[in-house]
A and B are shown apart, each in its own frame.
Chain A
């Protein structure tokens, strides 16, 4: 025990003596939270809109005004030429073109269907879908206004059979920051655990100090534990720092137990550190390690469900995600922070994470052979 404590002390001494690392440890969470959280959002504002109004009736102008007044759209230009509009779309001057054919107003007035056409740039599929959804919403709104008018001021409700009212639970305003922040926190601790610990270990190998340690009576597990604990603590401190920033700058809700969040992150960090040390035992240089670790990190994060819903992934990907610690923690963090889940609710995820942690760490201890 005394040996482990002394080894840990040595690690901290080295970490804080390294001017770059000791600063980065505190700067990384601040920058990540302040830059990444607002940047990673699916919310779309100011979709650049082009209009081809071949109708020029009060009805068509009414629709355009309605679109203009919504915060989702910004009217870039209005034209009569389809070619010009297509060129604008092609040259990225706008993202959406709404074509109102002549006869639109007349048709509306006479109670016939009045078609319009939307052309949307779908290079980014999710932006295109959202643009369409917003456009649909605004036109639908306009539509029900017209119906109400035509029916002599009776509100449209009178006509429709089923009226849907919805409420978004756990994130009433569909605030993307609330959705992303718990995930960004996970990426933060992943980076700390994965990169720092692994590189530290490989460095000992590169300079040869590991060989000097190997001839001492220091045991495998003592050495591995002493490599994990400092980065575990740093990870948790960074997590706390990230949470504080989240609270102050984004006023992130925190429904659940903060202890539970830290418990989850602790188990997660053990898993990640275990894997980092496992990878470091098979890499011969820091360069090799960086390459392998980067690969794992990207796969873990992209497959974690932070950007894309977990349930819509192919079955194979979902299976693979069973060993992806990042996926577990993102789920746990979101549940605890937004929903206020209890130990009982997330027990299964925590347990799986624990099994992963034990597997990775014991593999690392085994792989780190003192006798080559």
Chain B
């Protein structure tokens, strides 16, 4: 099977800032591939290279076997791009935006309606409304419809769920899953680590480098230590205290508890008494299975 994206040795600098540092990866056809990483990791730069908007300083990216630099004209017909910032015409209506993008790609809304129908039906009642007056979730659906209207083979979504409420985020991922049956390869970036599990494979990217690429469950299982969930009503003080404890490796807030790793992988009385001296006496500590986020944090904080 042909790979959808093959990137090797991609580097990009902006002045003295290195945005991407020797990145290589492949994305298979019809895969949902996620790039997870904090702001400024280089996700957007990478996506702009893949979508032919930027030329890499070094390295080559092939999309469906076509080079993004030399074959950009052909590739643009086959790529649907949804930038992180809402960038449709705010002074055109929903319908006008959709028709506009269909036309510039030389197609019609009617022709590819089945592809977007699941998404578009949500906003169709507002089709006369100006895009600028839509709510955040509706804007996102419109942007996705516009990116899909020409039936692209590759869909590139740059932080599509940033600034969207939890319910809409989940809905959005459901929509992406449904697109899989249309044989569309999807690459998506997100700063939310919990969304990694919705991808077939994920790449963890930080400071312009890919730390790991694999299936989410494999990444998750790579967690090397025992993990403890520590709870207390004084959560804020708890983190501070745990980080002062000499045996602590990491202590991260996680929901209503703190995820803790220790040098000798076991809880003993000295921790309880340490916490009590810090004025925290109601601690409950249980061992807990590591989630993908714990693994990401472990990878990201691994000393060089």
**Total count of chain B residues near the partner, CB < 8 A:** 30
Assembled-state Cα–Cα distance A207/B51 (Å): 19
Which one of A2, A7, A212, A217 lies within 8 Å of B83 (CB-CB)?
Answer: A212
When the two chains form their complex, are residues B73 and A13 in contact, meaning their CB atoms are under 8 A apart?
no
Residues from 84 to 114 in B contacting A, C-beta threshold 8 Å:
85-92, 96, 100-101, 103-106
When the two chains form their complex, are residues A208 and B83 in contact, meaning their CB atoms are under 8 A apart?
yes
Known contacts A6-B100, A217-B104, A372-B54; is A14 also within 8 Å of B92 by CB? Answer: yes
Assembled-state Cα–Cα distance A102/B219 (Å): 112
1/0 per residue A1-41: CB within 8 Å of B?
Answer: 01100110010011001100000000000000000000000
Q: Name the prevailing secondary structure of the B interface residues.
A: loop
When the two chains form their complex, are residues A371 and B103 in contact, meaning their CB atoms are under 8 A apart?
no
When the two chains form their complex, are residues A215 and B52 in contact, meaning their CB atoms are under 8 A apart?
yes
A residues less than 8 Å from B86 (CB atoms):
208
**Distance to closest chain B CB from A369 (angstroms):** 10
B residues less than 8 Å from A10 (CB atoms):
89, 92, 96, 100
When the two chains form their complex, are residues B83 and A3 in contact, meaning their CB atoms are under 8 A apart?
no
When the two chains form their complex, are residues B104 and A216 in contact, meaning their CB atoms are under 8 A apart?
yes
B residues less than 8 Å from A70 (CB atoms):
none
The answer, yes or no, to whether A218 is at the interface (CB within 8 Å) is: yes
**Distance to closest chain A CB from B92 (angstroms):** 7
When the two chains form their complex, are residues A371 and B53 in contact, meaning their CB atoms are under 8 A apart?
yes
Assembled-state Cα–Cα distance A50/B105 (Å): 77
**Distance to closest chain B CB from A7 (angstroms):** 7
When the two chains form their complex, are residues B53 and A208 in contact, meaning their CB atoms are under 8 A apart?
no
Complex interface: stretch among B35-43, B74-82, B263-271: B74-82
When the two chains form their complex, are residues B100 and A217 in contact, meaning their CB atoms are under 8 A apart?
no
Which one of A7, A208, A209, A217 lies within 8 Å of B106 (CB-CB)?
Answer: A217
A residues less than 8 Å from B96 (CB atoms):
10, 13
1/0 per residue A116-145: CB within 8 Å of B?
Answer: 000000000000000000000000000000
B residues less than 8 Å from A18 (CB atoms):
91
A residues less than 8 Å from B106 (CB atoms):
3, 217
Assembled-state Cα–Cα distance A20/B11 (Å): 46
Which one of A17, A207, A214 lies within 8 Å of B53 (CB-CB)?
Answer: A214
**Distance to closest chain B CB from A266 (angstroms):** 27
The answer, yes or no, to whether A255 is at the interface (CB within 8 Å) is: no
A residues less than 8 Å from B146 (CB atoms):
212
Assembled-state Cα–Cα distance A3/B105 (Å): 9
**Distance to closest chain B CB from A82 (angstroms):** 69
Which one of A3, A6, A7, A371 lies within 8 Å of B72 (CB-CB)?
Answer: A371
The answer, yes or no, to whether A359 is at the interface (CB within 8 Å) is: no
Which one of B48, B52, B55, B90 lies within 8 Å of A207 (CB-CB)?
Answer: B90
B residues less than 8 Å from A216 (CB atoms):
76, 101, 104-105
Known contacts A6-B104, A10-B92, A371-B55; is A215 also within 8 Å of B87 by CB? Answer: no
Assembled-state Cα–Cα distance A55/B3 (Å): 108
Residues from 204 to 235 in A contacting B, C-beta threshold 8 Å:
207-209, 211-218
How many inter-chain residue pairs (CB < 8 Å) link A and B? 69
**Distance to closest chain A CB from B81 (angstroms):** 4
B156 nearest CB neighbor, chain A only: A215
A17 nearest CB neighbor, chain B only: B91
Assembled-state Cα–Cα distance A268/B69 (Å): 37
Assembled-state Cα–Cα distance A214/B76 (Å): 9
When the two chains form their complex, are residues A217 and B105 in contact, meaning their CB atoms are under 8 A apart?
yes
Known contacts A3-B106, A215-B53, A216-B76; is A14 also within 8 Å of B89 by CB? Answer: yes
Residues from 29 to 60 in B contacting A, C-beta threshold 8 Å:
48, 51-55
Assembled-state Cα–Cα distance A217/B79 (Å): 10
Residues from 160 to 217 in A contacting B, C-beta threshold 8 Å:
207-209, 211-217
**Distance to closest chain A CB from B219 (angstroms):** 30
Known contacts A7-B104, A212-B81; is A371 also within 8 Å of B87 by CB? Answer: no
B96 nearest CB neighbor, chain A only: A13
When the two chains form their complex, are residues A208 and B87 in contact, meaning their CB atoms are under 8 A apart?
yes
B89 nearest CB neighbor, chain A only: A209
Assembled-state Cα–Cα distance A10/B131 (Å): 14
When the two chains form their complex, are residues A207 and B92 in contact, meaning their CB atoms are under 8 A apart?
no
**Distance to closest chain A CB from B28 (angstroms):** 22
A residues less than 8 Å from B101 (CB atoms):
212, 216
When the two chains form their complex, are residues B87 and A209 in contact, meaning their CB atoms are under 8 A apart?
yes
**Distance to closest chain A CB from B154 (angstroms):** 11
When the two chains form their complex, are residues B104 and A215 in contact, meaning their CB atoms are under 8 A apart?
no
Interface centre among A10, A17, A207, A217, by most B CB within 10 Å? A217
B residues sitting closer than 8 Å to A (CB atoms) are 48, 51-55, 69, 72-73, 76-77, 79, 81, 83, 85-92, 96, 100-101, 103-106, 146
Q: For the complex of A and B, list the 8 residue pairs with the smallest distance between their C-beta atoms, beginning with the closest.
A: A208-B87, A215-B81, A216-B104, A6-B103, A212-B87, A217-B76, A209-B87, A208-B85
Given contacts A10-B96, A208-B87, 8 further A-B contacts (CB under 8 A): A207-B87, A208-B85, A212-B88, A215-B81, A216-B104, A217-B105, A217-B106, A370-B53
18 CB < 8 A contacts A-B: A6-B100, A10-B96, A10-B100, A13-B96, A14-B91, A14-B92, A208-B86, A209-B89, A211-B83, A212-B87, A212-B88, A215-B76, A217-B105, A371-B54, A371-B69, A372-B48, A372-B53, A372-B54
